[in-house]
Amino acid sequence: MRIVQALSTLAFGDAIGNHAVGLKKVLQRGGYHTEIYAEGIDHRIPKETAKSIRQLRGLKKSDIIIYHMSFGCPLNWRLREWKCRKILMYHNITPPEFTRQYSVSFSNDLQMGLEQTAQLAHSVERSIAMSEFNKRDLIQMGYHAEQIWAMPGYLIPFEDYEKEPDSETLRQYDDGWVNILFVGRFAPNKKQEDVIRTFAYYKKHINSRSRLILVGSVVFPEYVDDLQAYADKMGAPNVIFPGHVSFAQLIALYRSASVFLCMSEHEGFCVPLVEAMYFDVPIIAYCAAAIPDTLGGCGVLTESKDPVLLSMWIDQIINNPLLRAHILAGQRARLKQLTPEIVENSFLQYLQQII
């Protein structure tokens, strides 16, 4: 029996790609014959990691295919054709309304993805949701609750975070200023504008020795242009857009961050929150989508986007050591529930149950 994974694109350094590669290692350790098949494979990924989807042949009825669903594409329809046991791993699809202003074709693909996910409800044997929020989404789309398993989290290789941080970045930002950090691709659902708005208030009225660092790959260049224009108009000169940074730089940025501020309105899980927990960066996050599930009661979860209130919270976290310690203790406790060992064991247990 083979357990294979299939996905449209195996990207380098993104949560889904890392998760798929992590799952492959877990399956290999569990003694399963496994492989990853993808339509597009990033050239930076080692060749032995994944194969082209064209090479996916000879599936038997007893074989299992784990299909990663996160976007609309023609490959999603092929899942119905494969004659084997099918498990849909749902990473969630961003509601198309968020991106329509910046790309109609992109939002159409998202719409197609949502429709395809709904239409596959009776074609898959089981589903794995990457959060309780994703599970609720699947149920709404016609999936049976008892056939969905909510995975405790993503397989995040924590040992990678112990690598050496980029010394230049550390030197640049470790200067006694307050560094407000957000990590996530530049997409309208991530609401980087709300982070800028809060920062603009904080810098203007509370602490002028502060900067905002917005890290992430660029999906919509026009959105980044708009954000930059907004930051300029707000008179917030210390908004830094380093774009997609190297792993060593990312570690350095987390290490020099004072607060992690997330105003995102749609997340299927939000791996950067776990990263912030790992690097002991206090989190302030807007309560939306899967964010409460991922935080699991830790950090500061806000139902308001009022820049005044949020700025006061940042100030409290920076200047109240007791509160900071309390938040970090909560985050460390939560992190213990998301370790790769726990995720790996629960995944293998689940597999044993269904095989």
Give the residues lining the site for another protein (CB under 8 A). Answer: 101-102, 104-105, 108, 118-119, 121-122, 141-142, 193-194, 196-197, 200-201, 204-205, 221-223, 225-230, 233-234, 287, 292, 297, 300-304, 306-309, 312-313, 316, 320, 322-323, 326, 330
- Which lies closer to another protein via its Cβ, residue 151 or residue 262? 262
Backbone angles phi, psi at 64, to 5 degrees: -120, 135
- Which lies closer to another protein via its Cβ, residue 37 or residue 201? 201
Distance CA 75, CA 71 (A): 10
Closest contact distance (angstroms) between CB of 76 and another protein is: 13
Closest contact distance (angstroms) between CB of 205 and another protein is: 8
- Which lies closer to another protein via its Cβ, residue 154 or residue 199? 199
Residue with tokens 């038997």: 60
Closest contact distance (angstroms) between CB of 107 and another protein is: 12
Distance CA 24, CA 43 (A): 18
- Which lies closer to another protein via its Cβ, residue 223 or residue 269? 223
DSSP secondary structure string, 72-113? --THHHHHHH--SEEEEEE-----GGGTTTT-HHHHHHHHHH
- Which lies closer to another protein via its Cβ, residue 105 or residue 353? 105
Distance CA 132, CA 77 (A): 25
Specify whether the CB–CB gap between 195 and 211 falls below 8 A: no
Closest contact distance (angstroms) between CB of 8 and another protein is: 18
Distance CA 283, CA 297 (A): 11
- Which lies closer to another protein via its Cβ, residue 316 or residue 346? 316
**Taking the CA of residue 355 as centre, how many other CA atoms within 13 Å lie in the half-sphere pointing to its CB?**
14
Closest contact distance (angstroms) between CB of 46 and another protein is: 31
Residue with tokens 């709404």: 140
Angle between helices 307-319 and 321-335 (to 10 degrees): 90
Closest contact distance (angstroms) between CB of 169 and another protein is: 25
Closest contact distance (angstroms) between CB of 225 and another protein is: 4
Distance CA 229, CA 209 (A): 21
- Which lies closer to another protein via its Cβ, residue 208 or residue 304? 304
Token pair, residue 192, equals: 């980087």
